[in-house]
Chain A
Amino acid sequence: MEQPIYTLDQDIQDFIANCLNLEHPESYLIAALHKVQERYGYLSEKHMDEVAHLLQVPTSTVYGVATFYHFFKLKPAGKYKISICLGTACFVKGADLVLDAFKTELGCGVGETTADGMFSIEGTRCLGVCALAPVVTINEQVFGNVKPTQVTEILHKMKEAKPTGAKTY
């Protein structure tokens, strides 16, 4: 039987190997998943399977934990990461409607990525620019006073232009 080939970075493999020497190694599952997500941005099936093997925790359990906590991402983020501020001020000014508009326009939900891998949507906490509420950031670019009706146009521009520095829309 051939040995499984691990693709996880060596230091993460070492971290997990070290957990096996500690009491209740299975309790380090979340810590291990954190490390994987920090490194690769999300948890791929291959990586979850490797964590399971290395830590000797059933893969079904690993996937159960990964889907239980919203923090864990199971898909890679899109080329354009759309963050909609859901802080109090933005929310009061209609951020939920803006979020809905993005979801409808892109056909994907919060924490998800479009099929072409271009856009992903997530909600964020207060970004500290309440004066511009509702605020949306796409990669490094900031959009203020966003109305749901502008969403189509914003996405259109993003598709055409290359990401640039900060700019108020």
Chain B
Amino acid sequence: MKYVNAIIDDIPVSVVEGTTIMEAADKINAHIPRLCYHPFLSTEGACRICVVEVEGARNYLPSCATVIQEGMVIRTNSPQIRQTRRDLVELLLDNHPRACLTCVRDGNCELQNLAYKLGVRDRLFAGERKRHPIENSSVSVIRDAEKCILCRRCVRVCSEIQGVHNLSQMHRGFRTVVTPAFEAPMDDSVCIKCGQCINVCPTAAFIEQDATEIVWKALENPDLHVVVQTAPAIRAAIGEGWNLPAGTYVTGKMVTALRRLGFDAVFDTDFAADLTIMEESHELIERIKKGENLPLITSCSPGWIKFLEHFYPELIPNASSCKSPMQMESTLLKTYYAEKMGIDPEKIFVVAIMPCVAKKYEARRPEHYMKENVPYTDAVLTTRELIWMIKAYGIDFVNLPDSDFDAPLGYSTGAGDIFGSTGGVMEAALRTAYEKITGEKIQELEFTNVRAIEGLREATIQIGDLSLNVAVSNGLNNAKKILEKIKSGEKQYHLVEIMACPGGCVAGGGQPLVNAGDYVYPLDSETVRKRQMALYRIDESKELRKSHENPFIIKLYEEFLGEPGSEKAHHLLHTTYEPKLPRGIK
């Protein structure tokens, strides 16, 4: 490896060739202010906030995009540089709505933080400001171009991590705006609704469609029986809303808080996760027996499903026909539970707390309606929206006592809990498939080799005399690599798990935003890892860790569904997909 020497702020540094000024400065704890930079995304150099002075250079240079050359003398700080950075932020603010007080990102906005940090105390420039209408066609993601500062993080995450390429910068100069192709509304685009644009946006140019209002209304309506279900990933992240460290699991407090908000019953999506495993492992075994439509690809992630329909419609037969856990739970609430309780399903209002904005879209897909105007899932709230509701209601969340979910749709095994992490569905499925195929008790319960923290992992699992080729991926650009191998026949897989969001549901588009600081960025991998670990710890702490051992699942099949894959199970728990018109490329 070749090293180059340079001097940063009078401190000599020796760095590997190809290191940028910003990276080198980070190493000597000289934190250069930055805005468009993101370590997981390509270098953009759009905001120019990170400019530094390089001896001999005509202009200030962007440190994120300038590679250190031998003998460079660099100053990261001087009154002039600080003034330049301040001017740049002032110019951004001048072209930005003065709506901080009422903005959803108030207090957690990278632009606001930067303006404070750089000492912008007044607005000196008063010129024309760009005007764009709020684009809220999508049930998931709202685009507010007036708040956009053109850092292009959303464009980069959409293409480089998700491989969707839905967003791009249109027009030029003052008119520049980030939109889907043809400036189409988000709803009429290839947007897969994953919400990663929301996660990386430094301001509030992308936010989720708000569902809190209809939930408040339902809670106040005496005619409705309002029930709620919470996804696995919520319990590992919701505490962050009260500054609890990432990975603090607060299942009991969350359940108590939901009861206090007025929900008539609090259920757990994890129960339906166990159910998903029952149906999906049955599907897997059937397909292996028949040798058709392999690999089986998981279908829990609605962002992934939309991606499949747009870009890989030829692989639709491979996707599991299982509804997602959320939809299974909601369906059971309006059938099994309604029957058991003697409540008219139309009087049951189902709210789902999800780490995901694509779930808002999934709930509105026509195939997930019981009948016209009666969706199985009435409203989907993100983790962020629930945090806000709890705060708005005045609940002292941190000091709440614990309580348990309601029976029967509130009990889950450890297998259901790990659904929220990448590799979790795979691991849960393997635990059950192993015992179903071999008829023996599984010895090693933890399939740590499918926990795909790095985004893509392949493994071969020995089940009896069957060698099962499996693959796990998160972030759809990683999924593409596997999908291409499936298409070309390069590798024969049996089971593939795909999650749209990098890290799985714990890093979904509806999760608490990382409080970005000096060296902490949105999508922070440490935060994601801690949330994942929380779910694995919950799994470890449970006595029952295999879906098919869940007593309430066993009872559900006895009382209601018959057996996995039965006609009734098929009717209620399975769904279909259809090709959607692609725009652009795979």
Q: Which residues of A does B touch, CB under 8 Å?
A: 1, 45, 48-49, 52-53, 56-64, 67-68
- Contact between chains at A57 and B585 (CB < 8 Å): yes
- Contact between chains at B584 and A58 (CB < 8 Å): yes
User: Most chain-B CB neighbours within 10 Å: which of A45, A49, A59, A62?
Assistant: A59
- Chain A residues within an 8 Å CB radius of B584: 49, 52-53, 57-62
- Chain A residues within an 8 Å CB radius of B167: 60
B313 within 8 A of A: yes
Q: How far is the CA of A119 from the CA of B299 in the complex (A)?
A: 52
B179 and chain A: residue at smallest CB distance: A60
- Contact between chains at B182 and A63 (CB < 8 Å): yes
- Contact between chains at A45 and B168 (CB < 8 Å): no
- Contact between chains at A61 and B168 (CB < 8 Å): yes
- Contact between chains at B168 and A58 (CB < 8 Å): yes
- Chain B residues within an 8 Å CB radius of A52: 181, 583-585
Which 4 interchain pairs have the tightest Cβ spacing?
A58-B165, A59-B584, A60-B168, A59-B181
- Contact between chains at B168 and A1 (CB < 8 Å): no
- Chain A residues within an 8 Å CB radius of B313: 1
Scoring B residues 180 to 199 as 1 if CB is less than 8 Å from chain A, else 0, what string do you get? 11110000000000000000
Interface size class of B (residues with CB under 8 A): 20 to 34
Distance in angstroms from A109 CB to nearest chain B CB is 12
Distance in angstroms from B156 CB to nearest chain A CB is 12
Known: A1-B313, A58-B168. A63 touches B181 (CB 8 A): yes
- Chain B residues within an 8 Å CB radius of A64: 168-170
Distance in angstroms from A162 CB to nearest chain B CB is 35
- Contact between chains at B166 and A60 (CB < 8 Å): yes
- Contact between chains at B585 and A58 (CB < 8 Å): yes
Scoring B residues 25 to 40 as 1 if CB is less than 8 Å from chain A, else 0, what string do you get? 0000000000000000
- Chain A residues within an 8 Å CB radius of B166: 60
Q: How far is the CA of A67 from the CA of B179 in the complex (A)?
A: 12
A-side interface mostly: helix
Q: How far is the CA of A58 from the CA of B183 in the complex (A)?
A: 14
Q: How far is the CA of A53 from the CA of B310 in the complex (A)?
A: 13
B177 and chain A: residue at smallest CB distance: A67
Known: A49-B584, A59-B584, A61-B165. A68 touches B181 (CB 8 A): no
Q: How far is the CA of A56 from the CA of B585 in the complex (A)?
A: 5
- Contact between chains at A63 and B170 (CB < 8 Å): yes
B584 and chain A: residue at smallest CB distance: A59
Distance in angstroms from B184 CB to nearest chain A CB is 9
Q: How far is the CA of A57 from the CA of B168 in the complex (A)?
A: 12
Distance in angstroms from B238 CB to nearest chain A CB is 34
- Contact between chains at A60 and B165 (CB < 8 Å): yes
- Contact between chains at A60 and B180 (CB < 8 Å): yes
Q: How far is the CA of A1 from the CA of B182 in the complex (A)?
A: 24
B526 within 8 A of A: no
B172 within 8 A of A: yes
B165 and chain A: residue at smallest CB distance: A58
A52 and chain B: residue at smallest CB distance: B584
Q: How far is the CA of A128 from the CA of B171 in the complex (A)?
A: 32
B314 within 8 A of A: yes
Distance in angstroms from A156 CB to nearest chain B CB is 33
- Chain A residues within an 8 Å CB radius of B585: 52-53, 56-59
Distance in angstroms from A128 CB to nearest chain B CB is 30
- Chain A residues within an 8 Å CB radius of B171: 67-68
- Contact between chains at A68 and B172 (CB < 8 Å): yes
- Chain A residues within an 8 Å CB radius of B408: none
Q: How far is the CA of A45 from the CA of B579 in the complex (A)?
A: 21
- Chain B residues within an 8 Å CB radius of A60: 165-168, 179-181, 583-584
- Chain B residues within an 8 Å CB radius of A49: 181, 583-584
- Contact between chains at A45 and B182 (CB < 8 Å): yes
B159 within 8 A of A: yes
Q: How far is the CA of A127 from the CA of B313 in the complex (A)?
A: 54
B175 and chain A: residue at smallest CB distance: A67
- Contact between chains at A59 and B583 (CB < 8 Å): yes
A1 and chain B: residue at smallest CB distance: B313
Q: List 14 A-B contacts (CB under 8 A).
A: A1-B313, A45-B182, A49-B583, A56-B586, A58-B181, A58-B584, A58-B585, A59-B583, A60-B165, A60-B166, A63-B168, A63-B182, A64-B170, A67-B171
Q: Besides A63-B168, A67-B172, 11 other CB < 8 A contacts?
A: A1-B313, A1-B579, A49-B584, A52-B585, A57-B585, A60-B167, A60-B179, A61-B584, A63-B170, A64-B169, A68-B171
Distance in angstroms from B164 CB to nearest chain A CB is 9
Q: How far is the CA of A63 from the CA of B584 in the complex (A)?
A: 10
B159 and chain A: residue at smallest CB distance: A58
B427-464 CB contacts (< 8 Å) to partner A: none
- Chain A residues within an 8 Å CB radius of B168: 58, 60-61, 63-64
- Chain A residues within an 8 Å CB radius of B181: 48-49, 52, 58-60, 62-63
- Chain B residues within an 8 Å CB radius of A45: 182
- Chain A residues within an 8 Å CB radius of B579: 1
Scoring B residues 562 to 586 as 1 if CB is less than 8 Å from chain A, else 0, what string do you get? 0000000000000000010001111
- Chain A residues within an 8 Å CB radius of B169: 64
Distance in angstroms from A74 CB to nearest chain B CB is 9
- Chain A residues within an 8 Å CB radius of B165: 58-61
B166 and chain A: residue at smallest CB distance: A60
- Chain A residues within an 8 Å CB radius of B183: 63
A61 and chain B: residue at smallest CB distance: B168
Known: A45-B182, A58-B159, A59-B181. A67 touches B170 (CB 8 A): yes
- Chain B residues within an 8 Å CB radius of A68: 170-172
Distance in angstroms from B408 CB to nearest chain A CB is 42
A54 and chain B: residue at smallest CB distance: B585
B131-174 CB contacts (< 8 Å) to partner A: 159, 165-172
User: Most chain-B CB neighbours within 10 Å: which of A53, A67, A68?
Assistant: A67
Distance in angstroms from A30 CB to nearest chain B CB is 15
User: Most chain-A CB neighbours within 10 Å: which of B159, B165, B179, B181?
Assistant: B181
Distance in angstroms from A20 CB to nearest chain B CB is 12
Scoring B residues 284 to 316 as 1 if CB is less than 8 Å from chain A, else 0, what string do you get? 000000000000000000000000000001100
- Chain B residues within an 8 Å CB radius of A56: 585-586
Q: How far is the CA of A64 from the CA of B169 in the complex (A)?
A: 6
Distance in angstroms from A134 CB to nearest chain B CB is 27
Q: How far is the CA of A62 from the CA of B181 in the complex (A)?
A: 8
Q: How far is the CA of A6 from the CA of B167 in the complex (A)?
A: 24
Q: How far is the CA of A101 from the CA of B159 in the complex (A)?
A: 44
Q: How far is the CA of A60 from the CA of B166 in the complex (A)?
A: 6
